[in-house]
Structure 1
Amino acid sequence: MSKLWGMREVADFLGVPVNTLYQWRTRNYGPPGKRIGKYVRFIPDEVRAWVDAQPSGVA
């Protein structure tokens, strides 16, 4: 198993601000994250799978 990612690593990977990830989480959108104590952590393979599942094209 690879190291879990924090909000900063996911934001950097996706090219979005950290605040966008927090907004997505309040809307039940975005890559699946798990709360570990007071931190949100992401499994890198799940983040990549979420990206792959997104429709192509411009919204």
Structure 2
Amino acid sequence: MERLYTPAQVSEMLGMSVKTLEKWRWERRNLPYVKLGAAVRYKESDLEAWLDGHTIGVR
């Protein structure tokens, strides 16, 4: 089974607030998440894909 992260863990990994992640979910931004009842989780593969999509290469 794939690893799931809490909003607090993702916030620490990305250096942004939990409130920002909450706002992005409300706005349906492009960072996918999973709802398990009332709990929100982020799949490791979704986080990696999201980060890859936001990586700027040097020319």
Shorter-chain TM-score: what band? 0.7 to 0.9
Identity %: 30
Count of aligned positions: 57
Deviation at 1:14, TM superposition (A): 0.9
RMSD over aligned Cα, in angstroms? 1.7
TM-score computed with the length of structure 1 as normaliser = 0.81
| Higher fraction of strand | 2
> Which of the two has higher C-alpha Rg?
2
Q: Mind listing any 5+ residue stretches in structure 1 that lack a counterpart?
A: none
Q: 1:6, 1:42 within 8 Å by CA — same for their partners in 2?
A: yes
- Output aligned runs, 1:1-59, within 5 Å: 1-54=1-54, 56=56
**Structure 1 runs of 4+ with >4 Å offset:** none
